[in-house]
Amino acid sequence: MPTATTRHSDRRVSPVFLGIVAVMVVTGWAVWTDFAPVPGLAVFLFVTAAWVVSLCLHEYAHARSALHSGDISIGSKGYLTLNPLAYTHALLSIVLPVVFVILGGIGLPGGAVFIERGRIRGRWKHSLISAAGPLTNALFAVVCTAPFWLHALDGVPLVFRYALGFLALLQVTAAILNFLPVPGLDGYGVVEPWLSYGIRRQVEPFAQIGLLAVFALLWIPSVNHVFFDLVDAILRGLGVGDVETYCGQAFYRFWQGKPEALFCPSGG
């Protein structure tokens, strides 16, 4: 394998990522043990850190798939270190998704790993690279809901259940949005290699506004209801109910008041 992909520094996990994981672990422990004087703050930090970790893994999945598909330049760009600061557009990949979680409770997909597509041969490889990111979100959702679908909630504190429920909602929304075949999203990247050259040229200008268009559509009540009905159906299939997601978001938005006032008990 070429040297560019084998240098240890290209694959060493970034201290930035490890720091984010440490925040996730410590705040997750604080939520579990009810150590924090303000449970909502602990939930906020835990879910936000876990969300950023999932974003890093999402981009890593794209990069790793590209590396094994022929783009040996990936390593030198820092994408294999899981460092969110190495992304082409850190604002799009990390900052905006976190802001939209805070404001709207939606797992807005990011994405700014620059892949040299010309190095990759084969339509299936191109499709797999695009699909790898949202598949990571789907896997993250399955993992964080394991206590629910395994019926292993005995001993899991209520607030921690809420946090997992809300985190699962973010992962499911991110996976669904990312898989939409809209220019600029991973779903379009999956189907693009199978389209004719003429269609790709016509669609290309819309890649810059695809994500914004999708988000604008979600403000339409009828579209919003259909979207979240689908999200709720998937979450129910994973064993997560409306109470967990609603109360998880209530604790996450601790600045809006005590969740207990919204019928979300924190103990028992």
C-alpha span between 141 and 175 (Å, rounded)? 9
Burial (CB count <10 Å: 0-12, 13-18, 19+), residue 198 = exposed
Strands (DSSP E) along the chain, which ranges? Answer: none
Contact assessment for residue 111 and residue 93, using Cβ atoms and an 8 Å cutoff: yes
Amino acid at 195: L
Burial (CB count <10 Å: 0-12, 13-18, 19+), residue 114 = middle
C-alpha span between 184 and 150 (Å, rounded)? 36
C-alpha span between 61 and 63 (Å, rounded)? 5
Active-site residue, 192 included = no
Burial (CB count <10 Å: 0-12, 13-18, 19+), residue 242 = exposed
Supply 23's token pair: 């925040």
Q: Which of 59, 192, 244, 260 is catalytic?
A: 59
Contact assessment for residue 141 and residue 168, using Cβ atoms and an 8 Å cutoff: yes
Query: Could you give the residue numbers annotated as active site?
Result: 59
